[in-house]
Amino acid sequence: MDLEALFNKNKEKTIQGRYITLDDIEPLLNSETLKKDVKIIGESVLGKPIYSYQKGSGKLKIYLWSQMHGNESTTTKALFDFINLLNNGSDLANQLLDSFTFYCIPILNPDGAKLYTRANANNIDLNRDSQDLTQPESKILRAVFEEFKPDYCFNLHDQRTIFGVADTGKPATLSFLAPSYNEEREINDSRLKAINLIAGINEVLQKYIPGQIGRFDDSFNINCIGDTFQYLGVPTLLFEAGHYPNDYEREKTRKFVFMSLVTSFIILNENDVVDNRNDKYLNIPQNNVVFFDFMYKNVKINYDGNEIITNFVAQYKEELIDYKLNFNAYIVEIGDLKGKFGHFEYDAKGALFQDGIKNLPLEGKVADFNLNKKVFFVNGKIKN
């Protein structure tokens, strides 16, 4: 199957970029194609509707939710791409709808989505509220779980650009996890189902993004929703959409999330998760915090009258200003930086750092500077 062509055919073109809110998806949910399968299942802290989309008549029940963290929107885009597939009338769509019942919550945290924050309007991380259930959004997610009684859960998230695949120097464009169900991180039948499915997804995705898939840390935390659902005996998969080179809007990454979802359901439909693939799962390299957005090497600075050669790095801060998302680059670290990488790397070859102020790359400063007054950088990038 040509997964790339399938994505291009079903991509939802009305939503793109990183700032995805309820305002962006409501026209889709209210469209003639989708509205008959859409319900309002509750409200957020600020009274915004939380929508569900349910489709299919199959025996195997699949529960998917996105934007539990409001600023993690890549999987929301991919979810609508997948919903388009379910509605395109193709043989594949009909096969999936006959085999599965899909229950989707496209944006669980509409308040956080509007504010572009991880937390909800009460400043609570919903992914740490699975036991106390103090928030209306957490209660809705749990109530659906108990009523729908899923066979598999898909917990859809984004991860920061800091994550790489082990020490390979490749970004973790996608990372997966079969969450633990106990402190000992043991493997029972439920967790093994998630492990086997992730191993199958990885095998397919390696053809498209070789070496760019990581395995998320499996430390047990019962307050996290994935760990809770795994503990309750339902195979749960964590998706973490990460960085693809030069793709800060995560339009490329959304494609790989879509491919992963389609691959998951093809594997399940073919009942191709019966073998123990734990070894293949463990062979997926672990995520590692090794990346910065910008790395500048071999830069000359004048420090207390002494000229030294050093390196420094800058990181984007995603800042919402007048409901427009801005990527602003700030210097975050200076030094040897051994074992670290930059998504953009520049070798200054001993050129002198100047910024017209203190002429030093100071932590917390915007990454506007020049080298030898010949190469100028604005917001981290070379000015053309």
Tens of pLDDT, residues 57-108 = 999 999 999 999 999 999 999 999 999 999 999 999 999 999 999 999 999 9
179 and 104 together in one domain: yes
To the nearest whole percent, how much of the chain has pLDDT over 70? 99
Q: Two tokens at 307?
A: 């000229």
47 and 145 together in one domain: yes
Q: What is the CA radius of gyration of the chain?
A: 22
Rounded distance between C-alpha atoms, residue 312 and residue 25, angstroms: 40
pLDDT at 272 > cutoff 80: no
pLDDT band at 358 (very low <50, low <70, confident <90, very high): very high
End position of a domain, from candidates 289, 305, 320: 289
pLDDT at 296 > cutoff 90: yes
Rounded distance between C-alpha atoms, residue 228 and residue 310, angstroms: 46
Rounded distance between C-alpha atoms, residue 208 and residue 210, angstroms: 6
246 and 363 together in one domain: no
Strands (E) located in 284-351 = 287-289, 291-303, 306-321, 324-335, 341-347
230 and 100 together in one domain: yes
pLDDT, residue 305, reads: 82
117 and 12 together in one domain: yes
315 and 203 together in one domain: no
267 and 357 together in one domain: no
Question: In CATH, what number is assigned to the domain containing residue 366?
Answer: 2.30.40.10
Rounded distance between C-alpha atoms, residue 80 and residue 97, angstroms: 16
Closest CA to 90 of 6, 11, 28: 6
207 and 266 together in one domain: yes
Q: Is 0.95 topped by the overall pTM?
A: yes
Which phi and psi (to 5°) does residue 206 adopt?
A: -60, -25
Query: What is the DSSP code string of 180-226?
Result: -SSTT----HHHHHHHHHHHHHHHHHTTTSTT-EEE------TTSHH
End position of a domain, from candidates 270, 289, 308: 289
Structural domain boundaries enclosing 312:
291-382
350 and 217 together in one domain: no
* Three-class DSSP category at 155: strand
How many domains does the structure of the chain reveal? 2
207 and 245 together in one domain: yes
pLDDT band at 3 (very low <50, low <70, confident <90, very high): very high
